[in-house]
Structure 1
């Protein structure tokens, strides 16, 4: 790839994506609102992706061998991108999420058999309804309907494809420092270290996770590949909430304290009352080899512990 456009990509694991592309010799153009500058050696286009005319004007006559869209969260954003980039790139990669499979907000799938993981075909974006009239521009609504926004964004791209399209459905991303952009790993490190109780269900089920560096590797690999459609990205080695807390405690902190919530009540992040894992076999058949959570999670925990000491 000679020229790759990255929408977002100035923070979190998106910055790893940009650096990997740059260091591999690609020309990289980051598109964002200008709140964060890209690293040295990377082109920068400042534009609001929600403003179609401004985005098109800011891009000028630029074309790309691939585009990696890190921050497409609604069908409205997907529709703008589909129109603006339709003649600018032969490959478009959207960073999606495990939350498209969330049965708490979707009736589209049957409960998965524990241990097997949900395959990509459980959610078909070509048949998912798109509702542009919903208040996607309201931050609170968008946050509460994150999984649905991603589902509808995938559907917007997939049903009327303006370019070859891939949706990378990422497992829960964990990392050190600001790569833990949801703050969930830090939440657990803080609670385990201080002895504050972690709210869990009577029975807790595992989910799928991926490290900040591995998801960056996967996105770069996907941008240079030629397959299409949705693809799940997660490390081997599923974890439930007690597994995660045990890994934290194993790095020299006290044992975790737990508090069981009543059925139907909200528990801590990653405390799931149903199995919530993905099948990553499609990606591996295509040639990507995932690591195990045991390979990278200790380092991420160590970074969070160190950050909390300062």
Structure 2
């Protein structure tokens, strides 16, 4: 398999590249070049937002599949759809559980986990004229940007398209510092600010999401698919697991008006992974790997 990975220079994207390479795929990494690609792969340097530069660096190249780790807006999706039309038969976009944010009601106490059909990309309105190039706007509208990017790829029909809606990732070389926030505060006996009634969310282990993306690349299904471990966690459960490992009881506090800690949610973010299971990929359970992730985070 000849694979192009856009982005993927760190965290589970780098693991994905190494997994593909070690499985015998011919891997090409396309990014701006700020981080070196792993050894044993082809490295192309270009800004994905520059359509002319993308066309130039890809001249004469084609791929069995493209895995897009860093598509955040409909404008980026439109550029990629034009540039890769005729260069690949399959395109996999790493999306997010945040596409369901508009459906998750603050304070809701329950309800079923979100299945893929809850957000149909073919029905999502697309507005390419919003300020998608503004970093602050893009960050504030992360879920909406991903939703609209899925919609653009779905409607272009330039290639077979799949969107992997990824749960919150734990473990591995996490540059975000979100789990480290909990470890540090619990070990130092500092309070963790949470919502008054935090809701459960889906999570996935870093090596497993890399495996799932590689598996999706080699598959033939299209459309969105949820990627998450079985079971959910709320911020109290996550803090308790870290506290057990640290030998200290976590102190969670509610402070209205103060920013809450990462992974404290005022709405539920549980995902139904029945489609992935029916397609042949059974995810592990959160309880299978969470204690190990916590131990690794404390080193």
The question of a shared fold, defined as TM-score above 0.5 by the shorter chain, is answered with: yes
TM-score of the superposed pair, with normalisation by structure 1:
0.92
2:136 matches 1:137: no
| Alignment deviations for residues 170-198 of structure 1 (CA, whole Å, 9 cap, x no partner) | 0001113xx32332111111111111111
Q: Which residue of 1 aligns with 2:237?
A: 243
- Equivalent in 236, 252, 255 of residue 249 of structure 2: 255
Contiguous gaps of at least 5 residues in structure 1: none
User: How do 1:196-207 residues align onto structure 2 when only pairs under 5 Å count?
Assistant: 196-207=190-201
| Alignment deviations for residues 5-60 of structure 1 (CA, whole Å, 9 cap, x no partner) | 00011211001110111011110000000111111110011011000010111011
User: How do 1:1-310 residues align onto structure 2 when only pairs under 5 Å count?
Assistant: 2-102=1-101, 106=102, 114=110, 116-176=112-172, 179-262=173-256, 266-306=259-299
The 1-side partners of 2:197 and 2:105 are apart by 22
The 1-side partners of 2:105 and 2:79 are apart by 29
Q: Note the C-alpha offset of 1:79.
A: 0.5
1:109 touches 1:123 (CA, 8 Å); kept in 2?
Answer: no
| Alignment deviations for residues 184-229 of structure 1 (CA, whole Å, 9 cap, x no partner) | 1111111111111111223221100001100000000000001100
- The total of aligned residue pairs comes to 299
Task: Decide which moves more: 151-160 or 87-96.
Answer: 151-160
The 2-side partners of 1:40 and 1:272 are apart by 39
The 1-side partners of 2:140 and 2:130 are apart by 13
Change beyond 3 A, Cα 1:228–1:113: farther
1:234 touches 1:290 (CA, 8 Å); kept in 2?
Answer: yes
1:47 touches 1:58 (CA, 8 Å); kept in 2?
Answer: yes
Q: Say which SS state the counterpart of residue 195 (structure 1) adopts.
A: coil
TM-score of the superposed pair, with normalisation by structure 2:
0.95
Q: Say which SS state the counterpart of residue 61 (structure 1) adopts.
A: coil
The 2-side partners of 1:110 and 1:300 are apart by 29
2:107 touches 2:197 (CA, 8 Å); kept in 1?
Answer: no
2:6 touches 2:70 (CA, 8 Å); kept in 1?
Answer: yes
Q: Say which SS state the counterpart of residue 78 (structure 1) adopts.
A: helix
The 1-side partners of 2:43 and 2:86 are apart by 20
CA-based RMSD:
1.8
Q: Note the C-alpha offset of 1:76.
A: 0.7
Q: Note the C-alpha offset of 1:266.
A: 4.4
The 2-side partners of 1:260 and 1:244 are apart by 16
1:142 touches 1:149 (CA, 8 Å); kept in 2?
Answer: yes
The 1-side partners of 2:123 and 2:89 are apart by 23
The 2-side partners of 1:267 and 1:110 are apart by 14
The 2-side partners of 1:113 and 1:243 are apart by 16
